[in-house]
Structure 1
Amino acid sequence: MSAWLRDESPLSPAQSDIDERRTDIFALLRDEGPHHTAQVTAPGAGWLASATAYPRSTLALWEARPTAPAVLPCGTVFDIVNVPAVFGRRMLDRLWEDGPGSGPVAVHRGRMLLFTAPGTAHRLPSLLAWEEWGNAVPPLLCHGTGDAVTIPPLSPPSASGPRWVVAPDTRQPWLPGPEVLLWACVRAVRTASAADVRVSIFPPADQDAKVYDVSRRR
């Protein structure tokens, strides 16, 4: 049996575990430090499999091929908001620094997949349309009922391909709803705008250096 399938992680992490996850997510976003928040646990795998029509068969397939990606349906157990990677990183910064944290998050083909509460894919575009800053948010792909997405392997073969940023680690992970995602989008846009202003006022001394990455500023 695969190592991740033998994991017996607690279903409800204690406050100290939540604080540790916050520390780990910041380290992961900086590409340094321990990354164990990116490891899918056995309860997390069970939660993912529950989105399929045949959870036991799905788990058996994952046990046999833990490094293979999987396609899961959306709309019942979770929705997914698919955002550009840089903007998604800004959203995660805001969610973990100023907000309630995030649900599971994966990176696939240069985009971030944010797992959200069912119904978010339907409501979020409407909320953004009414939001003053909505036009500044890059195009989002919202996957809900009738859609399916490819998720990273439970045990990725390498760190360079699709991977989990915040892996599911319980049988009932907390999932943000449309209002939380709207808040994160707006805060990410405002933060980026403020950073752009600071850079324009105080440009890097070495103009020949590589492009200043405002997304890495905190």
Structure 2
Amino acid sequence: MSDWPSEHPRRPAPAAFHTAAYVTLAGADWLASAAPRPEAVHARWASCPEAPSTLPCGTVFDVINAPALFGRDLVDRLWTAGPGSGPVATHRGRILLFAEPGTARRLPALLGWEEWSGSVPPLLCHGPGDAVTVPPLFPQRSPQPDPPHTPHSAQDLTASRWLVAPDVRHPWLPGPGALLWACIRAARRATGVATAVPDGPVATAARNSPDAPADPATTRTAPTLIPPL
């Protein structure tokens, strides 16, 4: 049973989460808007739509870059028990989760404050000044669905493709609170530990975040944990 509160919105599950997704025209506009010259990105896609692209982070989106197995479990937790996710891709054996700008700075700080941070594998958090390589808009061949009730294959985890493709001009993106929530549960499920979250200060801050579970019994204001830059 999900512990994500009903007052927090949940995205509808994609119809084909286990197959490669295609970027829509609106989604391509959103991706291109991250570049200083979106028209140049569109021109490159028009000439070579099956080639990966490099896009800057920090203004339109941040990207949380996770190891393949943990990242796939993280996405599964977001969809099965949480609010869903924004765009998600695989590239060179890593999972790329597109997140709200500012998440790359805040998520490592939130994870570093709790005793369970050691159970979360190292995450690469890409924000201002960073760039990421995203998969092609259109795969070279039509993907085949995964067999039902079977583990994801090595090819499924290492192929460069979209798992949840951008499909609207302004997609919903998870923030640090939602990703902290999912990281805790993915890490604890991997280690066989119960998924109850300790009532530490960062757990309280995560619950009070607009994009993370809120505890109705908690009435105190979470302390400010990250000093202003």
**Normalising TM by the smaller chain, what interval?**
0.7 to 0.9
Correspondence 1:7-86 to 2 at 5 A: 19=12, 21=14, 23-25=15-17, 28=18, 35=19, 38-86=21-69
Is 1:122 the counterpart of 2:105? The answer is yes
Paired with 2:52 and 2:169, the residues of 1 have a C-alpha distance of 20
Cα deviation, residue 165, structure 1: 0.5
Correspondence 1:175-190 to 2 at 5 A: 175-190=173-188
What TM-score do you get using the length of structure 2 for normalisation?
A: 0.70
Cα deviation, residue 61, structure 1: 1.6
What TM-score do you get using the length of structure 1 for normalisation?
A: 0.74
Amino acid aligned to 1:142: C
Correspondence 1:124-143 to 2 at 5 A: 124-143=107-126
Amino acid aligned to 1:182: L
Alignment partner, residue 192 of structure 1: 190
Amino acid aligned to 1:169: D
Q: Per the alignment, in what secondary structure is the counterpart of residue 70 of structure 2?
A: helix
2:23–2:138 contact (8 Å) kept in structure 1: yes
Amino acid aligned to 1:121: A
Paired with 1:83 and 1:20, the residues of 2 have a C-alpha distance of 21
Cα deviation, residue 174, structure 1: 0.4
Cα deviation, residue 19, structure 1: 3.6
Alignment partner, residue 215 of structure 1: none
Amino acid aligned to 1:113: L
Correspondence 1:151-162 to 2 at 5 A: 151-158=134-141, 161-162=159-160
Cα deviation, residue 77, structure 1: 0.2
Alignment partner, residue 219 of structure 2: none
Q: Per the alignment, in what secondary structure is the counterpart of residue 82 of structure 1?
A: strand
Q: Deviations over 1:45-65 (max 9, x none)?
A: 000000001112211221121
Identity of aligned residues (%): 60
Alignment partner, residue 170 of structure 2: 172
Q: Identify which of 150, 158, 161 aligns with 2:133.
A: 150
Q: Deviations over 1:129-178 (max 9, x none)?
A: 01221110001000000000111111121455310000000000000001
Cα deviation, residue 190, structure 1: 1.2
Q: Per the alignment, in what secondary structure is the counterpart of residue 133 of structure 1?
A: helix
Q: Deviations over 1:107-142 (max 9, x none)?
A: 011110000000000001100001221110001000
4+ runs deviating over 4 angstroms: none
Paired with 1:73 and 1:95, the residues of 2 have a C-alpha distance of 25
Paired with 2:28 and 2:176, the residues of 1 have a C-alpha distance of 24
Paired with 1:187 and 1:20, the residues of 2 have a C-alpha distance of 19
Paired with 1:89 and 1:69, the residues of 2 have a C-alpha distance of 21
Residue correspondences, number: 169
Cα deviation, residue 70, structure 1: 0.5
Alignment partner, residue 71 of structure 2: 88
Structure 2 spans left out of the alignment, 5+ residues: 1-10, 144-154, 194-229
Alignment partner, residue 8 of structure 1: none
Paired with 1:92 and 1:147, the residues of 2 have a C-alpha distance of 22
Q: Per the alignment, in what secondary structure is the counterpart of residue 24 of structure 1?
A: coil
Which protein is richer in helix relative to its size?
A: 1
